[in-house]
Structures are given as structure tokens and as C-alpha cells.
Chain A
């Protein structure tokens, strides 16, 4: 349940903030949400990765009708279908590493409080 709430939070915050802020706004969002959620490392990476990957993929499919996918495919010498996935992976990776970082920092904090 907590995982789902964090995942949806990152999705919504990324989608809303990206309308007014640079694309990398997903980095502080992922870090903050995971840090506050006090997740373990694997989930710290996985949840933001999946959230941003999904959000970007949906946003791409809402905007594009295969035209830019084909252009980017030609430009990057990749199959057309792969370019939305590649784009979403880029967002996901950045989110994942910042989420992981948030998780590792929050873990340290928890250990210190408990200890």
C-alpha cells in the first residue's frame, strides 16, 4: 500500500511539476518522496524508476501518434517502437538513482534514531 502511494505521488508530482519546471525536476521529487517514505534501497530505486518510466511513457503516447517515434528511430538508428521506451528509461534512470540516494540517506537517519 505504501509503495503504491509513493509510486502514485511521484507520478502526479512529476506530471504536474514538469509542466512548469525543467525535465530534471523529477530528480528532487524522487529523492524527496523516497527520503520521506523511508524506503529500502531496492524499492528506493524501483518505485521512482517505474513511476517516471510509466508517467513519461503515457505522456509520450498521449502526445505522439508514432510520428516523432519514427523520426527519433531514424535519428538514433533504433526501431521506431523502442524510442518511447528509451525516452522513458532515461527519465526512469535519473529518478531511480535519486530515489536510491533518498533511500540510502533515509536509512542512515533511521539507524541513527534507533541506535
Chain B
């Protein structure tokens, strides 16, 4: 009996060890390996970080040439002091891995389609879609291109060595907490990971397309109505570089290769999300309170914890620069040095187009191009799945690119797949070392994708802005819809020569700016289509053109402005058209008193949003009503505003589903009745802003933030998207800089520096960013890492 009980007890004990040592799924919910996670020796308890127990340490590596010192200041910003650039890049790789290893890992797994391997079967479909987009293929192409630049490659090699130096010396007890939760180990970093991150950035910023929906719309509405509902450009727009340009004669009726006879469902796939955008502007010394230029930049991205950005300072005998970097790539992307400041916003040109493929066989191995049979390259994708069998998928590559959806038979021509002529990150590595605009223009000229509006200011009183990136030359309407892939004539006709990329240098108006609007005026000699922001660009102009002298306070107020030009313009038409009864309603009075600012406590902002969206959908019921039968693009809000400002009557004002023929006034009043039935609710409550951890775990996230802003205000805060970094630099003998972002330097949720900056950022306040030339001059530091050469 004792023996039986002993065996039973042993079985229970072994069962507990097995259960606590492995991940499980119970009731559809993943359960981490609790024993591994909660034991005090190697579990999560080891990740506890206390600001009092930071201490200096030393490292050695045979890969660095001379001693490197990294001082972490009291904001946990690493200041790297190296005697040469390669050693500095090694140190950059080390500190980024030190603070954000899991983030770097997951951010490269996503484009590579390797999330199911660590997160389980729920991610298989996502992985498949990413692989069908060919992001791994794109990274491999990038690496082939980088191999042609051995000198430049030394920097990324040094960066990679720095990351791996950290990983190789990491004990299991020190793994970031997410590895313990998900029960996997960090893998070796390679240059391919940096290439993947660049491709992920291209996906976020330059994978805007609605070709299928536009093709359907062209068929449903016909050319005339299509142009009215989905116009080429907003006539009110003030482009980034106004010109003058020599007007090119281009036919607006060619429609060559445009496919409109399809009725395809939308392809659900990861792509550039709505809400991505940015602002930047630089004012000249003539317009600045300091007499020298000032520069501001705030990229709007999906907000996450850890933060998208990592603040860093790099000093070598040749330069000293500070700013933020995108994890996984060497160099400083947005920042300043002793003489210049720089930043970027996204260019909205459409560089991702679908082409129809006419297969010649059932197994889809050959297709027709220019009347000839072409073989597709078949790539077998092997997707590892945590706890389950391997999944295989076949991706077909055509002359256009990968076939993203086998049912739709559409191949994707996307700039991300091209082998860039030089490594893109060199724009940031070289850019941070410049001290004049000519050098900066040279350093950034080779940037390929995603195209960015690079803004610049220096202490020699120069300001400028230029699109850096490859922009395809297209025929009119090319890429707006699906293109016919059976003829190579329907492909892009090359790329706009770099010298012709829109740009401005020291314009008379005294400032340069961009906010994702059109790059150039309609007279620009190259046709382009894409996704362009209609209000923020004009808001920047409004603020800067009307101000004689701009100072720091004004720059800060601009970045934090919640003014909506959309609300201003729309209400100017809509409010006066309310009937007497509606105009007397409390909500109408509240809207009439409103200053069009989307403050967190604003009720009017919520009322306007609901009123305008209801009105917009009633106006374009022709499109919205058919959306259930055929996938159609949503008309833009600016089209609605422009229409009601200019057209008192239109066939589109009639609601198709009613027997009555409605007028503009009918629509305005009917839509307002919906608003009259709403409860009073503040914007912050309605918005429910949150910053989620990369794993979406609420415990590691910041929920229920009280924030104002709208996608149409300079402070473009939406529920999960918003200003991910705000920076203002006042150029001078020594630069005066300010910055903030929603997060913290550490990626460790158990660190006091994980989300310590959120409150400052949410209040619209800034940290002072101090460039310190010598390590000994940092007044308050947390700890220092010394890296010495090991023979």
C-alpha cells in the first residue's frame, strides 16, 4: 500500500513539474510555464529593477578597436563616447539590445512571418500573409544590395556585433520578462534582422493601396462619377514644395492598363494603417525669436510599449549627436548635433500596386506576359507553429512580385521588394555627422524606401526640405486601380530622377514644412497618386504664415494643438443650415460656441464627429449602401467638405433608399437628429486612448489615458495612434533641444524607466535634451558601461 501511495505521490509530483514547466492552452487561453515564470531564481522576479541598484560594469570585446564609454544619464538615455564610428555603432547595438531586446526580436519576426513559432496557431494566418507579401524576400534583396557597399556595411556589421555581444552574454535569469512568459530564447541577431526592420517600416509607411476597391468603384460609378467621388487631388491643398514647375502635358483620359471590370472582395492583409502620419517644420532665422532657425518634428505612429523610439546620444572625435533611433538600425533617425537638426515625415505616394495575373495552367505555375508564357518562381514557405505541426505554403513570384492572394490572382509590385542602390540606414549614419546642408543632402540622397520628407535646419541659417526616396514614374491613373499584368507596358516607367524630387531650400516665406500632404503642386511634371493628408499641412501653414516671430512656446503649442480645420470648415456650412428647431437644441448651441479644439474634456468634439460621420455616410449612400455587395473605398472627408461648400445641389444629396428627393439641408438636419439623441460624453471617454504592450497584455500596457486630439489636428492623437516622438530644436552656437515620447527608455515592464515619460508626454510637456561632448561633464548619471578591446 505504501509503495502504491509512494508511486502515486511521485506521479503527482512529476505531473506538477511537467505542468509548471511547460506552456499550455486551457479554455483557449494560453497559460505560461508557471514554474519557470514564477520561480525566484530564473523567473520574472529576477527582472525587478530598482533605480537604486544600478551599478557600473565593464565589458571586453575583440570586435571593438578602442575603449568605449556609455554613460546612462538620469533619464536612462545612453551617451556613447567612442573614438571611431564603428565602435560607436557596436555600442549602439549593445545598448539597444540591453534595453529593448524583445521588441527588436518581435519586430523582426512580424515581417518575417515567424510569430506563430512563439505565439502559437492563432498567428499562422498572419504569418502566411506576411510571407505572401514577400517581406523576407525583400530583406534578402536588400542584403544583396548592401553587399556592394563594403565600407558602409562595416557600420551595420559593428551594430550587429554589439547586439550579439549582449545576447551571447545573457544568462536565462536575465532574459526579458516576455521571453519567460512566452517560453522561448533570444536568437542570434544578423544584418538580415536590420533589413527586416527596414522592410517593416516600409510596410507601415509605404504600403497604402486600395486598388481593388478603386477598380470596383470605377466599374460601379463610371469615370465621371468616380472622379467626383474620388478626386485626384484636393484643390485647397498647399503642397510641401510648391514649385514653380514646368507643367507637363499629360492626358487625363489615357487610363492605360487600368482594370475596372472586376468585382473582387478586399484582400485582408497587413498594410499601412490609417492613423500613420507626421508633422515637421523649420523656421528660418528671420522668423525665429532667436534669430537662428528652429526645427520641430513629431512622427505619428501606432503607439506601443515599449515605445517605438529609443533616445540615444553618440559622440566621436568628429561629431556629437542626439535624438531617437528606430530599434534595430544604426544611426540617429530624428535628432540634432552641434550644428544641424533633422527629421522626417512620411511621403504618401502610392508605391504598391496590384497586377492581374493570367495563369495558363490549373496549378498556377505559368502565366502570360506580352503574349509569351512565363514561369512563376515557386517558393515553399515553412511556418513553424508553437505546439503544433509545421504549416507549409507556396508563394508564387511573378515578374511583378509575389501573388498575395491565390483566389484573386493578383501580384504585388511594391517598392519594398527592390534591392536598394545603397543601404538606407546610411542616410541616418551619415546624416548625423553633417554640419551643413550640402553635405546633408549628399548624405541622404540615396535613401530608397519608404520615401520621407527630410527636413533640415542649421546654425548657419539654412533651412530646407526634400523628398528622399524612390518615386515611380506613372501614367495618369496608373496604380489608382488594379493594373493589367499581361503587358509589361503597364509597369512603372522607371523612377523620378532624384534631382526632380520635390524640395525647397530657404524659401522666401521663411519656413518649410510637411504633414503628409501632396508633395508638389498639380504642375509638377510627374503624375503621382497616393494617400495625402488634407488638413494638418494647411494647419501648419496657417499657424506659421500668420505669426511674425516664432518662439519655443509657440512651437510647443503648435505640436500640441488640437485645432481641427475639418470641424472649422464643415461647421461653417452645416450649422447655418440647421432648421429653427434643431438650431435651438442645446447641442447645436454647444457646437456654435465650440472653438474646434479636440480637448480631452470636449463634448462638442464628440458631437461633431458623430454628426459629420452620419452626414458623410448619408451623402455618399451610393457608395456605403453598396459596400455590402461590392468592396468600395470610403470617400474622403475633405471631398464632402469641399462639395458642401461649393455645390448647393447635387444628385448625390438624394438618399437612394427613400422615395423623397433630399436636398443638402435635408441631409444636414436628418443627420443632426441622430446627434440630438446622444448622451453627453467627453472626447477622452469616447476615444479611450491606450498604449498597448507589443503582446497586447493589459498588465504591461497603459490603459484609459485622458487625451485630446484627432487625426486632423497637429496633435494627431487617436485611440492607438499619435505623436510617438515630439522634438523641438533651437539652433545656435550650442543647440537647445526638447523632446518627449509616450513610454520610457527601458523595455522592461518591471523597470522604473518603462513608461515614466507617458505623463509628461500626455501633458504636452518636454524633457530638455542636453548634448554633452565629454562623458565627465554629465552631471547626473545612473551608471556607466565601459567596453575595452580584448586581445
Contact = CB atoms under 8 A, between A and B. Distances in A.
A91 B39 contact: yes
Nearest to B35: A23
B48 A64 contact: yes
Interface stretch (B6-14, B406-414, B455-463, B477-485): B6-14
A90 B19 CA distance: 11
Interface stretch (B63-71, B584-592, B673-681, B695-703): B695-703
Contacts of A107: 2, 6
Contacts of A23: 21, 35-36, 39, 41-43
Contacts of B781: none
A71 B626 CA distance: 48
Contacts, number: 114
A91 B2 CA distance: 24
Contacts of B750: 67-68, 71
A75 interface: yes
Given A59-B45, A64-B45, A87 B39 contact: yes
A7 interface: no
Interface string B307-346: 0000000000000000000000000000000000000000
B643 to A, nearest CB: 49
Contact of A68 (B6, B39, B44): B44
A111 B41 CA distance: 39
A67 B40 contact: no
A96 B35 CA distance: 15
A72 interface: yes
A60 B35 contact: no
Chain B, interface size: which category?
A: 35 or more
A112 to B, nearest CB: 10
Contacts of A97: 9-10, 12-13, 16
B699 A87 contact: no
B6 A24 contact: no
Interface in B31-73: 34-36, 38-50
A113 to B, nearest CB: 13
Given A68-B750, A94-B17, A98-B13, A60 B6 contact: no
B5 interface: yes
Contacts of A93: 16
A56 B39 contact: yes
Contacts of A105: 2-3, 6
Given A23-B42, A56-B40, A71-B750, A90 B20 contact: yes
User: Which of B21, B39, B42, B49 has the most C-beta atoms of chain A within 10 angstroms of its own C-beta?
Assistant: B39
Interface string A69-95: 001101100000001001100110110
A100 B9 contact: yes
Contacts of B35: 23-24, 90-91, 94
Contacts of A2: none
B708 interface: no
Nearest to A64: B48
A63 B46 contact: yes
Given A23-B35, A60-B40, A71 B2 contact: no
Contact of B9 (A56, A62, A72, A104): A104
A48 B42 CA distance: 20
Contact of B3 (A56, A90, A104): A104
Contacts of B13: 27, 31, 94, 97-98, 100-101
5 contacts: A68-B44, A86-B38, A94-B20, A97-B12, A104-B5
Interface of A: 18-19, 22-24, 27, 31, 41, 56, 59-60, 62-65, 67-68, 71-72, 74-75, 83, 86-87, 90-91, 93-94, 97-98, 100-101, 104-105, 107-108, 111
Given A24-B21, A27-B14, A67-B50, 10 more contacts: A23-B41, A71-B750, A72-B38, A83-B38, A86-B38, A101-B6, A101-B7, A104-B5, A104-B9, A105-B3
